[in-house]
């Protein structure tokens, strides 16, 4: 065998090994690159949800509807009381005197007015505990846009309003009002609980 043949065979074998080693290194590099690329996959953390917080917006349409409804019902109640007062030969002077008049309880009520008032304050009546407490909560949610962070502020405003109503009345409000107060506070707590449950989910 000639030296050229040995050299040629050795060179071919060396070339094969080099090529094979290079290919192995290339495949290993490709695998590492793939691993690196796989490792860069973005998975949103719980913090990323905070980057797109829910936007709370007042429900102006509902606010206006609730106001208009309350104004109409209040006007109807006032008219009932004014008719009752006028039938007894009294005159209604100042705006607040309607509440003072009612608080004294020094009046008689005809059967028709009494029936209407009882229907209005019944459990399913417009001024009953359930409907009134629901309206107050609906109004609070519409004003806050449903933002659970505003619950304490809405609750404090309700408590302040209740104290003002008691002051205008001149003594403790009737049990219907106390029951409504308790129902509203319970519904505020339920609303707060809904927010806590949503946060956990």
* 127: phi then psi, degrees, rounded to nearest 5: -95, 10
- What integer pLDDT is reported at residue 2 of this predicted model? 45
92 confidence band (pLDDT: 50, 70, 90): low
> What pTM did the predictor assign?
0.62
- Structure-token match 């109004």, residue found: 139
- Report CA torsion sign: 125, 129, 132, 134: negative
pLDDT tens per residue across span 57-76 = 888 888 888 888 888 888 88
What is the widest separation between alpha-carbon atoms in the chain?
Answer: 143
Domain segments of the chain as ranges: 60-200
- What integer pLDDT is reported at residue 108 of this predicted model? 82
């Amino acid at each position: 065998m000639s030296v050229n043949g040995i050299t040629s065979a050795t060179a071919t074998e060396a070339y094969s090994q080099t090529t094979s080693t290079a290919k192995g290194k290339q495949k290993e590099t490709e695998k590492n690159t793939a691993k690196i690329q796989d490792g860069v996959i973005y998975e949103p953390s719980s913090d990323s949800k905070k980057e797109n917080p829910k936007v709370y917006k007042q429900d102006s349409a509902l606010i206006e509807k609730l106001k208009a409804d309350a104004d109409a019902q209040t006007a109807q109640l006032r008219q009932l009381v004014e008719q009752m007062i006028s039938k007894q030969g009294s005159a209604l002077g100042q705006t607040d005197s309607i509440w003072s008049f009612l608080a004294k309880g020094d009046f008689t009520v005809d059967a028709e007015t009494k029936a209407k008032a009882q229907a209005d304050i019944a459990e399913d009546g417009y001024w009953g505990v359930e409907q009134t407490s629901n309206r107050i909560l609906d109004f609070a949610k519409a004003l806050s846009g449903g933002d659970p962070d505003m619950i304490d502020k809405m609750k404090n405003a309700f408590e302040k309003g209740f104290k003002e109503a008691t002051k205008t009345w001149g003594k403790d409000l009737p049990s219907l009002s106390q029951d409504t107060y308790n129902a509203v506070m319970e519904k505020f707590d339920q609303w707060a609980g809904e927010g806590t449950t949503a946060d956990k989910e």
